[in-house]
Amino acid sequence: MKKLLIAAVVATISSGALAAEKINWTGPYLGGSVGYGWGEQNFKDGSFIDGGITQLSFPGSDAVTKSKPNLDSAFGGLQAGYNYRNNNTLLGLDLSIKGGSFDTNYQGTPDFDFTAKSKMNWISTGKVKAGLFIDETLVYATGGLALGREKISLHDNYDGYSIDTSNSKTRTGWVIGLGAEHPISNNLTAKIDYEHIDFGDENFKMHEGNTGWQQINIKATDKFDMLSVGLNYHF
């Protein structure tokens, strides 16, 4: 997958280099992109709570066979934004949303007889962009806010109890990135983007009232590195 994506990047930039058209960079744009994300989730710790009192707590590395599984996925996305060019510099705002299947499964150790699944179907970013032109190629850096919707599901057989529960949360984090964009027609540009996204730690509180346990907590952290190629239409 990595080799195919790199080949697509080279082909996209090469096609743009043959058509170094003048383009009006100041104004709104709309586009689409495809890419691949390399993600990792750290199952940090968990706990069972009964009556508001923690009855059992455990580090994730003791509870699961692999505490830092991958969340890799191909994705497709849309982006829109606004640029302002001043001579050889550019400032802009970029909004994007990516859809994929960033998920992983956990298997508990013999002492913790459970299975769990974490899934994030979409990631959205809002970034400030600052760039410099080399001839007609824009090279830029970005930074801003990241959002993602994540669901953790848990099935557990503990001390004779059978537990099935889940919780979904909108994750918030930060994103930084680098990219390059080049005209391929009077209104169309080709681009390549790299982003690093960090959602930090999040507590997923899951309630299970049928077993006597009032609450189950899982703490997880997600990080992603994403590489994409795409096209933008400048209005």
Which residues does 148 contact at the CB level (< 8 Å), separation at least 6?
Answer: 120, 122, 123, 124, 170, 171, 173, 199, 222
CA dist 9 to 2, 36, 150, 229, Å? 11, 12, 30, 6
d(CA 176, CA 102): 19
Worst-scoring range by mean pLDDT, 24-38, 39-53, 143-157?
39-53
Q: Any idea where the domains of the chain sit in the sequence?
A: 2-234
Query: Which letter, b or e, does each residue of 151-177 get, where b requires 16 or more Cβ atoms within 10 Å of its Cβ?
Result: ebbbebebeeeebebebebebebebeb
CATH number among 3.30.70.1710, 3.40.718.10, 3.30.470.20, 2.40.160.20, domain 2-234: 2.40.160.20
Question: In this predicted structure, what is the pLDDT of residue 38?
Answer: 93
> Does residue 179 have a pLDDT over 90?
yes
d(CA 219, CA 77): 28
Percentage of the chain beyond pLDDT 90 is 51
> Does residue 15 have a pLDDT over 50?
no
CA dist 166 to 38, 120, 206, 216, 217, Å? 25, 13, 6, 10, 11
Question: In this predicted structure, what is the pLDDT of residue 178?
Answer: 98
> Does residue 122 have a pLDDT over 90?
yes
State the pTM of this model.
0.81
> Does residue 8 have a pLDDT over 70?
no
d(CA 81, CA 78): 11
> Predicted confidence band at 158 (pLDDT cuts at 50, 70, 90)?
low
